[in-house]
Amino acid sequence: QKEVEQDPGPLSVPEGAIVSLNCTYSNSAFQYFMWYRQYSRKGPELLMYTYSSGNKEDGRFTAQVDKSSKYISLFIRDSQPSDSATYLCAMSLQGAQKLVFGQGTRLTINP
Amino acid sequence: EAQVTQNPRYLITVTGKKLTVTCSQNMNHEYMSWYRQDPGLGLRQIYYSMNVEVTDKGDVPEGYKVSRKEKRNFPLILESPSPNQTSLYFCASSSSLAGGYEQYFGPGTRLTVT
């Protein structure tokens, strides 16, 4: 079993839809949870990060962490074609430089 | 412009021929890492470095070497490349001041070993 599981998709939705992306994990010691966005032929870039459980909102993006269920989510409201990319979840132990990534979900927003 | 650069961007080589992929950052970051990205497996960490002369293994270090002699540079060395090292490689850096969690990635190096 992988330490972090993420559905690779692909996921295709119409413009304006609410998108939900999810990851599950097995290591209860993870403390920091991140979402990276990767456009085609580019390196990943950090979208959001949260510490421990709870919600964090940034514009159209909301990250949720449920440590009791070992489940994290990223919601995108009013999705735009420019949101089309691969979204990777990542996690780490407190103070660690070792990030563990999910395999990424490829998302397409159709105009 | 703050950035992480990698060279070369594309490389085709043969089994057993030693190669080095360079990585450089201009943000004065303490932390640097190397990852490989493969279809269905996502990003996997090869090695990371907390500072000059301090390196440690990630999840898939076999067949790779690194060194950190200067803060800005973190080269990845494949002493005897094999076809299973064909992959897309990313270098990343981050600042200890920000907890190290926001990693800035380079543009990637696509390596093919025949």
What is the tens place of the pLDDT at every residue in B8-48? Answer: 999 999 999 999 999 999 999 999 999 999 988 889 999 99
Residue B92 has pLDDT above 80, yes or no: yes
Give the other-Cβ count within 10 Å of A82's Cβ.
8
pLDDT digits (tens, 9 = 90+) for B66-77: 999 999 999 999
Amino acid at site B38: D
Residue A44 has pLDDT above 80, yes or no: yes
Measured between alpha carbons, how far is A73 from A68 in angstroms, rounded to an integer? 14
* Torsion angle in degrees (nearest 10) through CA of B63, B110, A39, A47: 30
pLDDT digits (tens, 9 = 90+) for A52-85: 888 999 999 999 999 999 999 999 999 999 999 9
Nearest by Cα to B25 from B41, B7, B4, B53:
B4
Average pLDDT over residues B78-102: 90
Tell me what pLDDT residue A12 has. 96
Tell me what pLDDT residue A85 has. 97
Tell me what pLDDT residue A96 has. 59
Measured between alpha carbons, how far is B55 from B74 in angstroms, rounded to an integer? 10
Nearest by Cα to B41 from A32, A101, A21, A98:
A101
Chain B interface, mutation test: which of A49, A97, A101, A105, most B Cβ atoms within 10 Å? A97
CA angle B21, B24, B28 (to 5 degrees): 155
Tell me what pLDDT residue A98 has. 79
Residue A108 has pLDDT above 90, yes or no: yes
Contact A43 B108 (CB under 8 A): yes
Chain A interface, mutation test: which of B35, B60, B89, B101, most A Cβ atoms within 10 Å? B101
Nearest by Cα to B89 from B36, B51, B43, B39:
B36
Contact residues on chain B for A42, CB-CB shorter than 8 A: 107-108
Tell me what pLDDT residue B41 has. 87
A29 touches chain B (CB under 8 A): no
Provide the mean pLDDT of chain A: 92
A43 touches chain B (CB under 8 A): yes
Cβ–Cβ pairs < 8 A, chains A and B: 58
Is the model more confident about A51 or about B49? B49
Contact B109, B4 (CB under 8 A): no
Contact residues on chain A for B41, CB-CB shorter than 8 A: 103
Residue A95 has pLDDT above 80, yes or no: no
Q: Pairing state of beta strands B54-57 and B109-113?
A: unpaired
Tell me what pLDDT residue A94 has. 66
The closest CB to that of B42, out of A32, A88, A92, belongs to: A88
The DSSP H or E segment spanning A54 is strand A54-58
pLDDT digits (tens, 9 = 90+) for B46-66: 999 999 999 999 989 999 999
